[in-house]
Amino acid sequence: KDVSEESLRSPICCIMGHVDAGKTKLLDRIRGTNLQEGEAGGITQQIGATYFPAENIRERTKEIISHVDHAKLKVPGLLVIDTPGHESFSKLRSHGSDLCDIAILVVDIMHGLERQTIESLNLLKMRNTDFIVALNKVDRLYGWKTCRHTQMKEAIEQQSKDVRNEFRMRLDQIITQFKEQGLNTDLYYSKGNIRERYSIVPTSAITGEGIPELLWLILAQWTRKNKVEKPTYSDQVQVEVVEGLGTTIDVVLVNGVLHGGDRIVVCGKQGPIVTTIRSLLTPHPMKELRVEGTYLHHKEIKAVQGIKITAQGLEHASTATGLYVVRPQDDLEEIEEKAMEDHMKSVMSRSTEKSGGEGVCVQASTLGSSEALLDFLKTPEVNIPVS
Ligand code: GTP
Ligand code: NA
Ligand code: MG
């Protein structure tokens, strides 16, 4: 059945991998931004979301991928979620992978599969999520010559024999490492049934090589699945206060529609928070939700989107939990219980642990970061009490 592009749901694509593999830098390259250099220690500490309209992706891929009919890629856009690769943030990674329909697993070609690559891989396997491997930092191969405006396949063919040999050697090692994890992978342009393997796209976040192919493959793979809208469901990923707007939360709307004036329930530090959406804001397309700036106001928003919600009483909302919409026929108490269940138990038990009131004081910019930090301080190797 032919469906209109508007009725299709945009895929949510999670970008995962070991710390410093280049996840944020790849996104920076696609957006034309420079978030990565502004991060503390160059480490991503929260989940970020960026919406790319399909039109924009077509525009970017047209030149490189000219042999296909781009109109066939029927999606309104792509919501990309950036996740932290540092070992302390496994909860955020797991939450990110919960949300996504498809993923990009970033592997540093100089390092191969690392600890959090494998952790990410296991999350994806567990949820049966399709993914594409970005074999990043190809520009670091000794003697790599940048070839702009060409497909990666040709860019590799144009390299010197030494570079091609090193590339092949590292690629083969990485394919073997994937095999050890029980997965069949190969270069995206190599022959064979693409349904029976995971594609590897060599990329460079510095030169931009391989990125059009990566974007195109994500959309093509999603179009094949051709998913249509599911019932209302949304999920909250981040809480933060934005000056001048009062308290806001950042959410990822996975399915359905949110309206201004909707009654919502979110999980809070001191119990469920029942409130009413005052405004629905989105960043401009191609801009990151976690970057402050000007926002677009909406009366209603259809999935998929990264959204900033303003409402009263959100000061103590908890991150990485669901957000529930209360419809007139719903039992509010039941929804309140649901909102509290998933996440609060673990947070509360952690913070009420007895430290005798002595220990370090923990301060972080977001609740997600503070949770990661609290977890880290508790690990046996570290074991630092928190006052
Ligand atoms: P976390 O979010 O902290 O897990 O890291 P990340 O995966 O987002 O990596 P990030 O984008 O912070 O990049 C880490 C470092 O690698 C930065 O110094 C980047 O400039 C560098 N880098 C990323 N991609 C490339 C690439 O393709 N080539 C080269 N040469 N350097 C890169
Ligand atoms: Na980093
Ligand atoms: Mg990052």
DSSP state of 303: S
ipTM of the complex as predicted: 0.99
Q: What is the mean pLDDT of the chain?
A: 83
pLDDT at 177: 98
In whole angstroms, give the CA distance from residue 83 to residue 87: 11
Tell whether omega for the bond before 80 is within 30 degrees of 0, i.e. cis: no
57 Cα to the center of ligand 1, angstroms: 22
In whole angstroms, give the CA distance from residue 168 to residue 159: 12
291 Cα to the center of ligand 3, angstroms: 14
Percent pLDDT > 70 in the chain is: 84
Range with the poorest average pLDDT among 229-233, 359-363, 364-368, 376-380: 229-233
Amino acid, single-letter form, for residue 99: L
* Average pLDDT rounded to a whole number, residues 270-299: 86
22 Cα to the center of ligand 2, angstroms: 7
pTM for the full predicted model: 0.81
Q: Is the pLDDT of residue 223 over 60?
A: yes
- Beta-carbon neighbour count of residue 357 at 10 Å? 7
**Residues contacting ligand 1 via CB (< 6 Å):** 17, 19-25, 36, 42-44, 84-86, 136-137, 139-140, 204-206
